[in-house]
Amino acid sequence: MESISILAWDVRGAASVEFKRIFRDLIRQHEPNVVLLTKTQVGGQKARQIISNLGYSKYHTVEPMGYAGGLWVLWNENQISLRMIEDTFQEIHASVDVNGSPIALVSFVYGSPSRHRRKILWENLVNLSTVHNLPWLVGGDFNEILSPDEKWGVVDAWNSDHSLSNALTILKDKVISWNKYSLGNIFVKKKTLLKRLNGIGHALNARPSPQLAILEQNLSNQYREILLMEEELWASKARLG
């Protein structure tokens, strides 16, 4: 078994073309052998079709309730062995196995915005802690949000066609004058944006605020545009080379 490298992402819908583009970019950067996707909002055959194109040999899913929730755990069985123990709407528990014997417990969590449901989640975790003595990794998002207005502005961050259209118009004008300097600028800006988004994500989890949510939305839109520019620039290089 290799060391565990886990990528957790709150995707807010896994059926879009943008999801696939961003997923590929995150996998290229971080090379995780386990991926947790939360709030996928996709289930059934549609979910299986999407997962089959993501490049992971094994998966376990929790169905969404209507358009709410949805958990996917993906992993490559030639790199790591996960054995599913149980799941609920908010959690997936698995053991990391070597030669059929568990050496650690992993819990993948996406806490409901509902305080009542989060209480159930915590009760489940407490109960689980009493029945094993393995090393235990708990990861994901406990979603400690107190009121809906604290999420104002975030829901539409990955669903607006307006910024995508603007980005494509800008790209059409700029691709002709592509050069090595501009490509380098994209890589630097993308790295900076990812660091800022990661920092804001931690800050929002610790203490949600409308101002940070708005900033996260703006940075998310910039990140989408950078990915589009990067793809177009590489395509331009291929055509010219």
Task: Please count the other Cβ atoms lying within 10 Å of the Cβ belonging to residue 64.
Answer: 19
For range 45-63, the mean pLDDT: 94
CA distance 2 to 74: 15
> Do residues 122 and 90 touch, judged by C-beta distance below 8 A?
no
CA distance 206 to 191: 23
Return all residues near 47 (Cβ < 8 A) that are at least 6 apart.
14, 40, 61, 70, 72
Lowest mean pLDDT among 113-122, 150-159, 212-221: 150-159
- Residue 23 pLDDT: 93
Q: At what angle do helices 161-174 and 210-240 cross, to 10 degrees?
A: 40
> Do residues 86 and 108 touch, judged by C-beta distance below 8 A?
no
- Strand 58-62: give its sheet, edge to edge: 6-10, 34-38, 71-75, 58-62
- Residue 234 pLDDT: 62
Q: pLDDT tens digits, residue range 133-164?
A: 788 888 888 765 444 544 443 344 334 344 43
Tokens of 231: 């793809």
> CATH for 6-183?
3.60.10.10
More reliable by pLDDT, 4 or 77: 77
DSSP β-ladder status, 101-110 and 91-98: antiparallel
- Residue 151 pLDDT: 47
Nearest CA to 195 among 222, 168, 214, 171? 222
Lowest mean pLDDT among 64-68, 77-81, 132-136, 234-238: 234-238
Nearest CA to 219 among 172, 157, 147, 127? 157
Domain positions in the chain are 6-183, 186-239
For range 231-240, the mean pLDDT: 55
For range 199-210, the mean pLDDT: 82
Tokens of 106: 């992993």
- Residue 143 pLDDT: 66
- Residue 152 pLDDT: 41
Tokens of 228: 């589009």
Ordered DSSP codes for 153-217: TTTTTTT-HHHHHHHHHHHHHHGGG--HHHHHHHHHHHHHHHHHHHHHHHHHHHS--HHHHHHHH
- Is pLDDT of 14 > 50? yes
Lowest mean pLDDT among 7-21, 145-159, 211-225: 145-159
Task: Please count the other Cβ atoms lying within 10 Å of the Cβ belonging to residue 234.
Answer: 13
